[in-house]
């Protein structure tokens, strides 16, 4: 996306799934390039399609196959920070992205009136306090780029085993056939 931003053909960029409380890839090049070109920045998926706002403590501790050890530790540290902060995960996520003055718009995709009201209440509180921002930076730095085995949207609660598992099953079947002389 950075090369498209630098092409001077656009005046706004939508970046999604790569800038939130845990993922910061867009901060490396996309956001700085957009700022340099004076582009509007629309930041999608501040809630990580919901995985950042729904707790999955037991599943994270059990460490599904697709979850790297570093991401597991990061997710647990994030849960600890939520607990220590006294705010909900959705409030923390929304106030985090509101803390970046370079972001122009944040579509939040509310499913219910209650979600909308909670988002408005969180936004009214403004940016996160500096100590929470600093702590979130430390938690995000635990995994600077996504591990290769990790899906784009962490599928907590979805019984996801990963694309490699199907291939592994096929390899086991082929191995059985070879052992049986087929």
Instruction: Report the CATH superfamily, name and number, of domain 2-179.
Output: NADP-dependent oxidoreductase domain (3.20.20.100)
Asked if residue 148 has pLDDT above 90, the reply is: no
**Lookup result for tokens 């629309």:** 42
Asked if residue 134 has pLDDT above 90, the reply is: yes
Mean pLDDT value of segment 149-163? 80
What is the C-alpha to C-alpha distance for residues 22 and 75, in angstroms, rounded to an integer?
8
Are residues 5 and 33 in contact, defined by beta-carbon separation less than 8 angstroms? yes
**pLDDT score for 68:** 92
Q: Is 42 helix (H, G, I), strand (E, B) or coil?
A: strand
Are residues 41 and 11 in contact, defined by beta-carbon separation less than 8 angstroms? no
The greatest distance separating any two alpha carbons of the chain, rounded to the nearest whole angstrom, comes to 69
Mean pLDDT value of segment 149-169? 71
Of the two residues 159 and 116, the one the predictor is more confident about is: 116
Asked if residue 125 has pLDDT above 70, the reply is: yes
pLDDT in tens, 28-86: 999 999 999 999 999 999 999 889 999 999 999 999 988 999 999 999 999 999 999 99
Sequence spans of domains, the chain = 2-179
Residue 180 binned pLDDT confidence (cut-offs 50, 70, 90): low
Q: Is 135 helix (H, G, I), strand (E, B) or coil?
A: helix
Locate 141 and state its tokens.
């730095």
**pLDDT score for 181:** 53
What is the C-alpha to C-alpha distance for residues 79 and 56, in angstroms, rounded to an integer?
9
Are residues 31 and 102 in contact, defined by beta-carbon separation less than 8 angstroms? yes
Residues in Cβ contact with 14 at an 8 Å cutoff, skipping those fewer than 6 apart: 42, 44
């Amino acid at each position: 996306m950075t090369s498209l931003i630098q092409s001077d053909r656009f005046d706004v960029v939508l970046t999604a799934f790569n800038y939130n409380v845990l993922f910061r890839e867009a901060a490396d090049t996309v956001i700085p390039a957009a700022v340099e070109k004076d582009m509007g920045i629309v930041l999608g998926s501040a809630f990580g399609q919901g995985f950042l706002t729904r707790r999955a403590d037991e599943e994270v501790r059990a460490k599904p196959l697709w979850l790297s050890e570093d991401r597991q530790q990061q997710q647990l540290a994030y849960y600890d920070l939520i607990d220590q902060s006294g705010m909900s995960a959705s409030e923390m996520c929304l106030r985090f992205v509101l803390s970046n003055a370079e972001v122009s718009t944040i579509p939040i995709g509310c499913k219910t009136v209650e979600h909308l009201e909670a988002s408005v209440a969180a936004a009214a509180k403004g940016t996160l306090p500096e100590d929470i921002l600093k702590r979130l930076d430390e938690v995000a730095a635990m995994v600077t780029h996504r591990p290769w085995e990790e899906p784009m949207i962490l599928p907590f609660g979805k019984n996801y085993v990963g694309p490699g598992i199907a291939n592994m099953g096929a390899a086991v079947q082929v191995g059985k056939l070879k052992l049986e002389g087929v």
